[in-house]
Amino acid sequence: MSSSRPSKKRKLTPPQSDDEGSSHKTGAKVQKAFFKNASTWNLEEQYEDKARKGKKSKEKENTRLPLKLPGGRVQPFAAPVVDDVKDVESDDDWLEGEELSADEAGEEPVEAQPEIPEYQQIKEAKEELAKIASLLNEDPGENAGAFKALGKIGASKIPTIVMLTLATQLSVYKDLIPGYRIRPVAEDNSKEKLSKDVRRLRTYEDSLVSGYQAYVRELTKYTKAGKRQDSGMASDIAGVAMTCACTLLTSVPHFNFRSELIKILVRKCSSRRVDNDFNKCLQAFQTLFQEDQEGRPSMEAASLLSKMMKAKEYQVDESVVNLFLHLRLLSDFSGKGSKDTVDRDDDGLNRKKPKAKKVFRNKKERKEMKEQRALDKDMAHADALVSSEERDRMQNDTLKLVFATYFRILKLRVPHLMGAVLEGLSKYAANINQDFFGDLLEALKDLIRHSDADQAADEAAEADDDDTPLRNTTREALLCTVTAFTLLAGQDAHNSRADLHLDLSFFTTHLWQTLFPLALHPDLELGARSLHLPDPDAPQASTAVKARSDNKVNLQTTTVLLIRCLTAILLPPFNVRSVPPLRLAAFAKQLMGASLHVPEKSAQAILALLADVGSTHGRKIAALWNTEERKGDGTYNPVSESVEGSNPYAATVWEGEILRRHYCPKVREGVRVVQKHLEQR
């Protein structure tokens, strides 16, 4: 067994030498020293200090043939390895390097799309606007989102597209705005169960209101931008926006965001620069005041106009103040008030309604009646119907705003607005409270007293500055006189003259003193809209020909105002017999002398007034036409400071014989009519 088994071979190892033992001991020492030094290493700092290297790109497949070496050995071809990513110093550089490597790798940059020509964009915008407008006109309920689409088209930077969008939105909203004001849905009713049709209608109304609100904001933005910028395109867009705002205010004044539209127009009216947009705003306000049957839009507009004028310290154009003359207060409102209070007639709001006879109703009937009243109230609000009491209340507030504005201007004596204020006071004199008569008459007297000094100052300012408007103190004095006598003519103040201590002799005396200068005035028959060539010798008008401003309110000429004043003095409507004979004779003599100097139309008006005076007071003035019936002694003084001091009965009307040979046939006929009335008396 032992002989058949192979013997185990032993591995012979050479004996270890002394050098090898020493080397083993040295390696242990080196390892120990290595670990000892490794405890002091800072690997993180070394890693940060070490320059980063990008990853090498993956080796591409080698497609070249192998090389045969001289010894016969075959060796594959090894291409040199090139790093695609360069060393970078930071993360940002690494990212830039990645982008750069990507570009170098062969990625093509995205080409910019070619810019569409402007005319092509305008054409596409026209087609899109026409398409959206057609959809809204066909079925606005199904295309409620089209309102927002219209606004997006208007966000273009091309001015033509902006103007087209504004005009398209104007046409769309004018056609689709209902005849009632849309109220917001209450929070309590937002979760109530609604039918499909009602929910659809509410969704459409919400879209309409939100789109209309965005449109009004755009109009406000463009009108403000046009005011700040003087460029042609900005002014064109501002003009279109102003036209749209004026059209909306006059077309749909009952709808939402009316105050924002009024603010746009008031902001334009605050400018002293009169241009086409300014006239559009004036015309829009006039239309609003004349066609307003509710009263609330007029009150809002008057309130904003008065606040604007007060903030501007009344440095506005005269035509803005004249807007108040177009209010319907002159025809619809019969109350009387001032800047603080308004008195109403017995037939107005203070009248108590008679109590209705009480009818017995059970609980169910009372509940049904209550629901019916609530329903009627909602329907009246939806139909924009305003009761007479509510309309009177709003007209009261409007009247107080108008008087407050007039009295502030009258107190400040704004030169270029005095004519407009006096014109308004003369028209609204029938609506002024009697308790305010005394203060108003004193203000009018004070204005006439200082008219000469103010006129001298204005002439000096006009000589220094050609752009300074010249006050017409003659017209202002006549307007003061008309206002003073209208206060008595339109009310029952003549019955309480003693209690109110009203004395109008100051106005009569002033008119007497200015009658001859008025007869020699060259602009006696020229109105506010008349063209007039100024005196070439005047220093302020030697350079250019000036035309009067196009004023559509103050159309009465100086002759018309003079005849109104004389009619109020000589033929008062409240008590004709109260006129003293001495006053009648003095004015009759003075007017016959003035007829020799005035133009033919003014002469006809004066003779017609004398004919009425002769038919009413013929016996009191007939002695002036008869030299044998002289009632006075002494001499006649036509330039006397008072009417009574002129001594008219000491003179005769010799001017009639000259007027008989006047070149105008109508003047000759007027003289014969005057004498005919006197002979009948």
Query: Which token pair is 590?
Result: 């003075």
| Residue 662 belongs to some domain of the structure | no
Has residue 245 got a pLDDT over 90? yes
Whether the per-residue pLDDT at 120 is higher than 60: the answer is yes
pLDDT of residue 122: 87
Structure tokens at 40: 């002091």
Averaged pLDDT of the chain: 76
Residue 531 lies in a domain: no
- The token pair that represents 466 in the structure block: 């050609």
Most confident stretch, 29-43, 93-107, 152-166, 327-341: 152-166
Torsion of Cα atoms, 171 then 173 then 175 then 181, to 10°: -150
Domain membership flag for residue 207? yes
Per-residue model confidence (pLDDT) at position 84: 44
Question: Can you spell out the DSSP letters for 582-626?
Answer: HHHHHHHHHHHHHTTTS-HHHHHHHHHHHHHHHHHHHHHHGGGG-
- Top-confidence residue, 334 or 625: 625
Is residue 238 situated within a structural domain? yes
Reply yes or no on whether the pLDDT at 303 is more than 90.
Answer: yes
Q: At 676, is the pLDDT very low, low, confident or very high (cuts 50, 70, 90)? A: confident
Kindly report which listed range (192-201, 548-557, 573-582) carries the lowest average pLDDT score.
548-557
pLDDT, average across residues 343-352: 46
In a domain, 663, yes or no: no
Q: What mean pLDDT do residues 223-250 have?
A: 82
Per-residue model confidence (pLDDT) at position 27: 65
Q: What is the pLDDT of residue 89?
A: 44
The tens digit of pLDDT for each residue in 425-480 reads 878 877 777 777 777 888 888 888 876 565 555 555 554 454 444 567 778 888 88
pLDDT-derived band at 98, boundaries 50, 70, 90: very low
Average confidence (pLDDT) over 608-613? 90
**Can you tell me which residue has the tokens 């004709």?**
576
Q: Is the pLDDT of residue 306 over 90?
A: yes
Nearest Cα residue to 461 out of 451, 448, 452, 470: 470
Residue 154 lies in a domain: yes
Number of domains within the chain: 1
Choice among 124-138, 386-400, 473-487, 526-540 with the minimum mean pLDDT: 526-540
- Identify which has the larger pLDDT, 535 or 65: 65
pTM: 0.67
* Domain extent at residue 175: 118-186+193-273
**Is residue 144 situated within a structural domain?**
yes
Q: How far apart are CA 342 and CA 331, in angstroms?
A: 17
122 is a domain residue: yes
